[in-house]
Structure 1
């Protein structure tokens, strides 16, 4: 391994620093205990992942990298705890014997955007070729610390956080910092003087950062690499105003490895990658880090101009509806131009074979929804779509967010699940004592009862508010419906509306239960129930 990777590499693991020599000893220790030919790995910590991964390769085992912590019953499974338990001091350790077989293979799962994960075979030789190119192309030196919000279990993280990092000899923070607050705390502890900081991030986290008022600490970051899903250009533009970091979007796939990078708003193909497309505009890729001699045929449709690559959309997102071809990605991009939309996903509703749109409203959209209802939202979207696409959508579902996976992608089955979901506000316990409760909830704009109550002025029906009370006393007080003898009084003073931050207060006496629901500093409803405890 000394011949394949830079021995200047170091690791921040559980708050302390490990050297490359410590790393090799831990790999050797793990490999000695490994008996299985095929293993599955899923870890949260990148250091333990690397130990198990390279330990398996040195042991001539074939590791399967899982996208989620869902092991099969066919192969030995290793997680953070089981890997840690196998690490011990090795008196017989000899680093010169630790040589990687470059022909060794492993299996990595695709992101599952089509609904199903596939295991893709990769070789160590492919990964080292790719890492060598990327390290040189982006001039990544050993005076660098890599922070990451993305998982090493997927190819973007595996390529950059593991192979590029080890090839470049950088300092690797082995945590997965998948919240802005965690990132901020770690960045604050790093000294950026004469030292570079690289962040590996998903577009989802960058979008969250762009909505924050003050992210000055992120100016310590030299470069941000992002991949997994499309980075919105509006997010890039906002971050370019807030921080000085260079943002580099990477385009590639599990099958091909890296293909192109986007620094200035356009993807440019990497020098060693050759691309073309077939008669259906599907991308064909050839590169030194893939074995497919005839090139890999992608599901992405593209336009090519010199080294510039424009991704039009996925081939399986171009459908035929009423004898007319529709590009669902293009349709989504049109809707995203609306001043009331933050995000959108379009799919065919399998129940009716019609197009359905999941809409995530921005602040202006939420205000419009509150004031004029879903009817006005639909009107504005259909006006935009009809004008630019000469087509109308049939079904609309308002949601507070899209069901994106950890890669920022939208699996088809998750979209359909979101369409069919019966969404309700989730009241969370704030305080509880012997005879009182306090709970808070966000009144989700996707709540099922807003679809019919009312289309032009949505509000929470009174019987639903009473249901909030019944659910709370059942969960937190152990009272069943049979314990409620009758409702003595109930009053409704102010409307409870979508996007409200609501609070529910409950007090009990020997045979009475009192409740109040508040929103926007106003009392919305109260009541008194006779109960039998």
Structure 2
């Protein structure tokens, strides 16, 4: 199936298409069309080209997105609407379309649900707009990533081709934000183009998920490793009577134990999607076993750099689909075209005047029989040293209980000595139940370092 999204955006929804729902309301295709036309008329009359878009509810966000793209505007998606985030981006947009005023801007178009709008035809576009998303750059400043509709259409079309057979008459619910590329694609663009309704609110609590699973027969859950790791405990690790038809996870690899815990509750393994804002989706997997390999998506070619094993990518989602792009992940390429993710190649630091890769050290820690996950960070007080935060698996927790922390520390240090000099090993150790993640499901060095503030 090709041009799924572009065809839908050109023609608009059918009047009877169910666009979105929540616990007390629905948005039909005809009502959605009226909203998009109303917003399109306002945007078309403005000379402003770059519009920052933000809304809490996904149906209003989708209406604003479609209206702006059909009006040929550049749509700027901030990671969040915090004051600091917007101040960093204030030179990146000229006007705002949002569900509330966010900051001083030249123009503001309000997103709100209006039931009295007249019926309207879907707007016709002379030129379609584009999207700009922001991701963390190496300097810590937001890095702009432009996405054309042709690139997004390719991704939506391949997702439908790859997974549609598992999604019979599904509606979509999500625990992740539509402001980021994963939620944007999986909760908004793909459901719209494939005529699948989505929940207009974001699910923040397990009870809300259980509520919708109880009243709707077929749901697809869009989630993240951070949320799926916590979900089984919130459900008492018990098999659920009502389960999603499909579960997606993205934002980082899901550890094996968490994947199995999700299966215990929902009778299926999540489908993990590996990719980034820059690259789009690269590959997918279900963790049937430890070190499960990744299967590249159709029209995505993967190779390993012969010098350092870095992932080399050729993808229809990139600006130059025929050009090979080098990524920061080291992989093991298999003969069948699948690959194993090993570790990141960046995050090089100096400890005792010796260079080492934090990613390599974390990967080695994670391979120990006691460990389910690990993160390493540089601590600067009372002197420069490494701190390791390690989540123990069942065997590790039992050993900690029986033999104490010193025995665990010693075992892990001996394991690290196979690749690292003793002088560079972590000097401080923490054993939290889970590693801290931010609202985007990302692990930050500041959050890991905070685990070591109190001795």
> Fold match, TM over 0.5?
yes
- Cα distance 1:249–1:98, how it changes in 2: closer, same or farther (>3 A)? same
Equivalent residue for 2:377? 347
Looking at structure 2, the residues matched to 218 and 313 of structure 1 have their Cα atoms a distance apart, in angstroms, of 38
Which of residues 117, 120, 138 in structure 1 aligns to 2:145?
Answer: 120
Q: Is the 8 A contact 1:113 1:411 kept in 2?
A: no
Looking at structure 1, the residues matched to 186 and 394 of structure 2 have their Cα atoms a distance apart, in angstroms, of 36
Looking at structure 2, the residues matched to 122 and 362 of structure 1 have their Cα atoms a distance apart, in angstroms, of 40
Residue 331 (structure 2) pairs with residue 302 (structure 1): yes
Matches within 5 A, 1:462-477: none
Residue 101 (structure 2) pairs with residue 68 (structure 1): no
Q: Aligned to 1:224, what secondary structure does the other structure show?
A: strand
Residue 146 (structure 2) pairs with residue 146 (structure 1): no
Residue 57 (structure 2) pairs with residue 57 (structure 1): no
Looking at structure 2, the residues matched to 137 and 371 of structure 1 have their Cα atoms a distance apart, in angstroms, of 47
Matches within 5 A, 1:173-188: 173-188=199-214
Note the C-alpha offset of 1:215: 4.6
Note the C-alpha offset of 1:107: 0.5
Residue 341 (structure 2) pairs with residue 311 (structure 1): yes
> Relative CO higher for 1 or 2, CA cutoff 8 Å, sep ≥ 6?
2
Q: Aligned to 2:176, what secondary structure does the other structure show?
A: coil
Matches within 5 A, 1:25-64: 25-34=34-43, 35=46, 36-64=48-76
Which of residues 284, 296, 302 in structure 2 aligns to 1:261?
Answer: 284
Residues 185-208 of structure 1 show CA distances to partners (whole Å, capped at 9, x for unaligned) of 221121x2xxx3211110111111
Equivalent residue for 2:25? 16
Q: Aligned to 1:220, what secondary structure does the other structure show?
A: coil
Q: Is the 8 A contact 1:261 1:269 kept in 2?
A: yes
Which of residues 350, 359, 362 in structure 2 aligns to 1:332?
Answer: 362
Looking at structure 2, the residues matched to 304 and 312 of structure 1 have their Cα atoms a distance apart, in angstroms, of 10
Looking at structure 2, the residues matched to 6 and 128 of structure 1 have their Cα atoms a distance apart, in angstroms, of 16
Which runs of no fewer than 5 residues in structure 2 stay unpaired? 1-7, 102-109
Q: Aligned to 1:49, what secondary structure does the other structure show?
A: helix
Residues 91-142 of structure 1 show CA distances to partners (whole Å, capped at 9, x for unaligned) of 47322x334844x211112256984431200011211121011112112557
Which of residues 232, 236, 239 in structure 2 aligns to 1:210?
Answer: 232
Q: Is the 8 A contact 1:303 1:310 kept in 2?
A: yes
- Cα distance 1:122–1:309, how it changes in 2: closer, same or farther (>3 A)? same
Q: Looking at CA atoms only, which structure, 1 or 2, has the larger radius of gyration? A: 1
Q: TM-score with structure 1 length normalisation?
A: 0.69
Residues 230-280 of structure 1 show CA distances to partners (whole Å, capped at 9, x for unaligned) of 110111123323332342110111111111111243201112111223333
Matches within 5 A, 1:36-435: 36-70=48-82, 71-72=86-87, 73-74=90-91, 75=93, 76-81=95-100, 83-85=110-112, 87=114, 89-91=116-118, 93-95=120-122, 97-99=123-125, 101-102=127-128, 104-110=129-135, 115-139=140-164, 143-190=169-216, 192=217, 196-211=218-233, 212-217=235-240, 219-263=242-286, 264=288, 265-278=292-305, 279-292=307-320, 293-305=322-334, 306-319=336-349, 321=351, 326-336=356-366, 343-350=373-380, 352-360=383-391, 375=406, 378-386=409-417, 391=422, 392-397=425-430, 401-416=434-449, 418=450, 421=453
**For structure 1, which segment, 140-149 or 350-359, has the greater mean C-alpha deviation from structure 2 after superposition?**
350-359
Please, what is the CA RMSD of the aligned residues? 3.2
Looking at structure 2, the residues matched to 21 and 223 of structure 1 have their Cα atoms a distance apart, in angstroms, of 28
- Cα distance 1:221–1:113, how it changes in 2: closer, same or farther (>3 A)? farther
Q: TM-score with structure 2 length normalisation?
A: 0.80
Looking at structure 2, the residues matched to 175 and 218 of structure 1 have their Cα atoms a distance apart, in angstroms, of 23
Q: Is the 8 A contact 2:387 2:452 kept in 1?
A: no
Looking at structure 1, the residues matched to 36 and 300 of structure 2 have their Cα atoms a distance apart, in angstroms, of 33
Looking at structure 2, the residues matched to 325 and 298 of structure 1 have their Cα atoms a distance apart, in angstroms, of 21
- Cα distance 1:23–1:327, how it changes in 2: closer, same or farther (>3 A)? same
Residues 302-357 of structure 1 show CA distances to partners (whole Å, capped at 9, x for unaligned) of 22223212111111135565676644334324434567656431022355443221
- Cα distance 1:114–1:4, how it changes in 2: closer, same or farther (>3 A)? farther
- Cα distance 1:210–1:135, how it changes in 2: closer, same or farther (>3 A)? same
- Cα distance 1:253–1:100, how it changes in 2: closer, same or farther (>3 A)? farther
Looking at structure 1, the residues matched to 24 and 115 of structure 2 have their Cα atoms a distance apart, in angstroms, of 19
**For structure 1, which segment, 336-345 or 238-247, has the greater mean C-alpha deviation from structure 2 after superposition?**
336-345
Looking at structure 2, the residues matched to 237 and 390 of structure 1 have their Cα atoms a distance apart, in angstroms, of 35
| Length, aligned pairs only | 416
Q: Aligned to 2:164, what secondary structure does the other structure show?
A: coil
Note the C-alpha offset of 1:149: 0.8
**For structure 1, which segment, 367-376 or 144-153, has the greater mean C-alpha deviation from structure 2 after superposition?**
367-376
Q: Aligned to 1:48, what secondary structure does the other structure show?
A: helix
Which runs of no fewer than 5 residues in structure 1 stay unpaired? 422-447, 452-533
Looking at structure 2, the residues matched to 231 and 189 of structure 1 have their Cα atoms a distance apart, in angstroms, of 28
